Structure 1
Amino acid sequence: MRVPVAAGSHAHAGVAAAPVELHQVSRHYGTGEARVQALADVSVTFPAGTWTAVMGPSGSGKSSLLHCAAGLDRVSAGRVLLAGQDITHATDATLTGLRRRTMGFVFQNFNLIGSLTAEQNVALPLKLAGTRPSRRDVRAALADVGLADRARHRPRELSGGQQQRVAIARAMVTRPSVLFADEPTGALDTGSARTVLRLLRRMVDTAGQTVVMVTHDPVAAASADAVVFLSDGRIADRLPRPSAGQVAERLTRLEG
């Protein structure tokens, strides 16, 4: 069964209907007795201009789902489409190009380069893509996350929340069609996490950004347009615009 994550009131008209689609996707690791089934016949659509949180108990397949959707991991069966393009069997070179042009990534541990300034970290994806970074674009990306005055600071001179906002600016400077976030608030204090969540919400509401976010935090999930729950590698449920309490209750039942 495919689980559509319906575009809510925050979706923008004129945006492509479904930038990320998984059709009957399975992923297993190892062989024989060591074989582990991470995903089993998962079908889900993440429409453009929406923010979807992916949740589930430990080992439920959350990260595998995100990695397969982003082409970071190969599926064992099924198909993955990005903006209508089948990337299931794309070459590594094609996938690398697609990721650099159409996807942004934010992880729990920031992954900033300590020897580079904030603006140099933000410019890095453009350099890797063979594009001469525009200082104006880089500074604009930092301004978008409220760090215009921290452009010349190195990561050690920034708080954890500020480092994560630099990481978001770095992910967004290439104007990706979809932002994949893996536990983006997991290493942050409550105040910094709230700031990052407000930033993601604004990106979806004002710019029509698509966000697919793996999280274990019911408060973070409740900021999204919809929450998809995984259990044992399968879609277990979907809740549109739930409260943090509803998310926590559903997660508790799955973990039980």
Structure 2
Amino acid sequence: MTEARGAAEDVVSLEGVQKRFGSVVALDSVTLGFARGTFTAVMGPSGSGKSTLLQTAAGLERPTAGTVRVGDTDLGTLSETGLTLLRRERIGFVFQSFNLLSSLTAEQNVALPLRLAGRKPSRKDVRAVLQTVGLADRARHRPAELSGGQQQRVAIARAIITKPDVLFADEPTGALDSRTGREVLALLRSMVDTQGQTVVMVTHDPFAASHADRVVFLGDGRLVAEMKAPTAQAVAERMTALETAFETAAEA
């Protein structure tokens, strides 16, 4: 289980976070930090609280109890408008579905967060981000003219155009074939290593998790294990053990 770090060191930190949906406890006293320039994978059996953890850490869900901070900002002190502004300026999101606007070109999709924030996007900056994800030559193509992997690369470019403190990725390779998924994972790893980007990725795939610096495992909304320098085999074995343990507990 990971130890809490100071807010000054962590880009995002959760302290004693609980999240309830009615009588269901989705997160149970979670204390966890994500340090700058690191890649963390979040795994666990179905219903363990993975997506709820991501949504709460990103300010999409308010915790029932506990504290979530982005840098030194306590999200509990922010209004809904304040949360929206923080997510727009300091947090990037990548999802399994690419969520690109079909009528816009790649460069227009990438520029969209800046336009929504009332900022005039620089074509130079947009092209630079597309270059980072290997799509400089696809700037004027619309989503229908791009492969699934290329669309996810555009989605990643859109997420990092604002230079976010943290990039949250929810099953980013779930809709891709294995080869394309490997390319996207290599891109996320490169962003951490060369640009100091902080990435937090929810995944069910041990191979995807092996690209991270560490894996945190959830079970019934609680942190139950952590693995550093993960390999796909070690992650798969740990997941099998966790799933067996929780299935056994449920049957007892």
Q: TM-score, normalised by structure 2?
A: 0.94
Choose from 15, 21, 26 the match for 2:13: 21
Report what 1:130 is aligned to: 118
Runs of at least 5 residues in structure 2 that lack an aligned partner in the other structure: 245-252
- Residues in 2 aligned to 1:239 and 1:88: alpha-carbon distance in whole angstroms: 30
What per-residue deviation string (whole Å, max 9, x for no partner) do you get for residues 176-201 of structure 1? Answer: 01000000011110111111011011
Report what 2:249 is aligned to: none
Report what 1:48 is aligned to: 36
Report what 1:98 is aligned to: 86
- Residues in 2 aligned to 1:66 and 1:89: alpha-carbon distance in whole angstroms: 19
In the TM superposition, residue 89 of structure 1 has moved relative to its aligned partner by 3.6
What per-residue deviation string (whole Å, max 9, x for no partner) do you get for residues 54-98 of structure 1? Answer: 000110000000000000001000000111211124111111111
Report what 1:111 is aligned to: 99
Partner AA of 2:25 in structure 1 = Q
Runs of at least 5 residues in structure 1 that lack an aligned partner in the other structure: 7-15
- Residues in 2 aligned to 1:244 and 1:250: alpha-carbon distance in whole angstroms: 10
Report what 2:146 is aligned to: 158
Partner AA of 2:167 in structure 1 = L
Report what 1:183 is aligned to: 171
Instruction: Indicate yes or no: 2:30 matched with 1:38.
Output: no
| RMSD between superposed Cα atoms in Å | 1.2
Partner AA of 2:3 in structure 1 = P
- Residues in 2 aligned to 1:88 and 1:104: alpha-carbon distance in whole angstroms: 19
1:1-256 to 2 correspondences below 5 Å: 3-4=2-3, 17-30=9-22, 35-256=23-244
Q: Give secondary structure in 1 for the equivalent of 2:112.
A: helix
- Residues in 1 aligned to 2:211 and 2:16: alpha-carbon distance in whole angstroms: 28
Would the aligned equivalents of 1:61 and 1:231 in 2 still touch at CA under 8 Å? yes
- Residues in 2 aligned to 1:84 and 1:253: alpha-carbon distance in whole angstroms: 37
Q: Give secondary structure in 2 for the equivalent of 1:212.
A: strand
Would the aligned equivalents of 2:4 and 2:15 in 1 still touch at CA under 8 Å? no
Partner AA of 1:20 in structure 2 = V
In the TM superposition, structure 1's runs of 4+ consecutive aligned residues that sit over 6 Å from their partners are none
Identity percentage of aligned residues: 63
Partner AA of 2:94 in structure 1 = V
What per-residue deviation string (whole Å, max 9, x for no partner) do you get for residues 16-52 of structure 1? Answer: 620100000000112xxxx211000000011111000
Would the aligned equivalents of 2:88 and 2:117 in 1 still touch at CA under 8 Å? yes
Length, aligned pairs only: 242
Q: TM-score, normalised by structure 1?
A: 0.93
Change (3 A) 1:5 1:200: farther
